Structure 1
């Protein structure tokens, strides 16, 4: 798939992201999203806020589909210890929180006997649907995804810079993906 230029990625993020926000504020939303296209198929995670749960787990994906009842099925997966490492995955069911905009999804995960819920808000996306960035409420964690398996690092760095211009101040790691090895801390 064609890659997005650094300038276009940065300009798109700033235009779609709106005004700058503080780290504690909720980030802006970037809808409307085409429900059936956006929440379907595999997205490759390019960068994220590192956590204890995701440490050392790369080659990450989020796969969207539909349940028998028409709900949004979500499976997050990654590989522990490299491309051929053990797969770790968690699944859940998502519910759109802002019908019509379709940029906020609350996912109820199945984690053993627990059913934690996390709300993700799309704060920026490519007009051609090739990448998006989501954040959790409070703007404490961000996640960057693309349809291509590996965006060039300069494009990811431009997206990170644009998210920082929106007010995100936390740590970001660039992930290893098929076609790009190694994790690196981002600016």
Structure 2
């Protein structure tokens, strides 16, 4: 499949000659050798598949450049394999263990807008930059609040918090938003109480 290219400032274009207005897309993510375009309704708008990971990565970079250049007035997060318009982000969380770190941006329904994983401790800076941006004046109306050290969530979402044998889980509409792993009962109680206070 040919690499994607730009037709005009207003469209993202794929090799099948489907025109996708940039304004209709809130995120693009690269998953294996597929590109997923997400609509303003937080639904899959289009998927484009490639024969190799390299071709998919090249196409993602092309789309991401076009996406950013057509949204000069908007705050945009660009990771290694995803890009998203921050005005459609309702939360950001970071989970990490000894091997992997997972950064997740939440949509208005509590589901995952985009996420990316990397080696442990390599996404801390990206998480802090996102948290700083979302906590700024531009996003004041979203009422972002810290639920714990690695989870920032808009007050427009009403999460459920639950203690489990392996830690504390935060969900919105049955969608997983954040998880703090611990088997220490005292720490679980403390985290649970702190999150409940943050939500009050």
Which TM-score bucket, shorter chain as reference?
under 0.3
Higher CA-based Rg: 2
User: TM-score with structure 2 length normalisation?
Assistant: 0.24
User: TM-score with structure 1 length normalisation?
Assistant: 0.26
Higher relative contact order structure (alpha carbons within 8 Å, sequence separation ≥ 6): 1
